[in-house]
Amino acid sequence: MIPLKQLEKLAARHGTPIFVVDHEEIRRNYAMFKRYLPRVQAYYAVKAEPLPEIVETLYKAGASFDVASMPEFRIVYENIKRMPAQKRQAWIWDKIIYANPIKANATLRELDRYKPLVTYDNIEEIRKIRKYAPHAGLALRIRVPNTGAMVELSSKFGAAPGEAVDLILAAAKAGLGVEGLSFHVGSQTTNFENFVQAINLAADIFKEARDRGYAQMNVLDIGGGFPAPYDETVKPFKELATKINAELDRLFPRDIEILAEPGRFMIATAATSVVTILGRAVRDGKVCYYVDDGVYHTYSGIIFDHCHYHMKSFRKGREQICGVFGPTCDALDVISMSESLPADLELGELLYSPKIGAYSHASSTHFNGFPPAKVVHVNR
């Protein structure tokens, strides 16, 4: 984490609220991912935090990218303008997967000229892709266990394993090329057995496809869900990687390309929010602080990501349970009703929240006229 003295200086220089991104931490997270999963190519999930500066840092480190909308696609594509035109097409194939299984017709039309790799999970999507993006390569997304994930995704996306090969053959019959399979075990998955079960399900589907005459698949996308170390209850990433590596090596030969879509893992620990106390009240005996950022802005993950971010003080003092509220007039704008903070903080003092990089600032709005926090980039 960026030293507190530096955070205070940045707040004095830029004002608050600020969202401070530590690019050295991003590079460390990427290096850790590659060190423990050397066979897996990391496709950063841009939706976790779609700042162009983050995309550039990860691109330079060697990452590829998972996009789920055309605006995200364009953010990534901006990073290839320096490349010779003849190399751009290969770059798209190697560096981007469009991993939203349901796509608008207009999106498919726009994507088609890039010949991208896209996911699908139903027969209607096959018909759409055939009509509007016939040059795309396909990866079938399958439904896998999401037990213990902070954000469950299996009820919204994924073909049932029993229908998977039928959908592969249907796409092939439509003249489309199915390159492989993808899955997602749920965001912030601390139940590592989800990955084990999903990899085994995928191996069974690969085998069934070969047995039924389709042997062209050479890609397995193991999705996201790699947990960020928010606290000591999250087991070490190395432990998860050991399980994944064992199953991949046992079930998939080396000619199968393995992809993953880490988002939270790459960025969660790489950003810190700094806020100013705007107001203070005592309500029913509890000290309540009002700050200049909230759930409509950097703390949106409290609502959308089922995540709790701890608020910390820059100075020590006798702590007690306090409430912390955002700046808007909406009663929903509650950061915490039970944060341990000094009870004697004054107006104008600063608070900060570490490990707030993922699915936070990315969801900021301008609700009630309050703009999102200013982004400050730090390259240590």
Question: Active site includes 322?
Answer: no
Please, where are the H alpha helices in the chain?
4-14, 23-36, 52-61, 70-77, 85-95, 105-112, 123-132, 164-173, 193-211, 237-251, 264-267, 301-304
Residue 159 sits at φ, ψ, to 5 deg, of -75, 145
Report which DSSP code applies to 228.
P
Tokens standing for residue 272: 């810190």
Query: Tokens 């390309």 correspond to what residue?
Result: 257
Residue 136: both structure tokens together: 């795309």
Decide if 165 contacts 205 (C-beta within 8 A). Answer: yes
3-state secondary structure of 285: coil
- Pairing state of beta strands 312-313 and 350-353? antiparallel
- Name 67's bridge partners: 98
The pair phi, psi for residue 348, each rounded to 5°, is 95, -15
Contacts of 309 by beta carbon, 8 Å cutoff, 6+ apart: 273, 299, 301, 302, 335, 353, 355, 356, 360
Residue 32: CB atoms within 10 Å: 15
The active-site residue, picked from 288, 307, 322, 329, is 329
| Measured distance CA(165)–CA(205) in Å, rounded | 7
Contacts 24+ apart (CB under 8 A), 85-91: 89/114, 89/115
3 state DSSP class of 224: coil
How far apart are the C-alpha atoms of 239 and 235, rounded to whole Å? 7
Answer for the pair 282, 63: CB distance below 8 angstroms, yes or no. Answer: no
Give the active site residues. Answer: 329
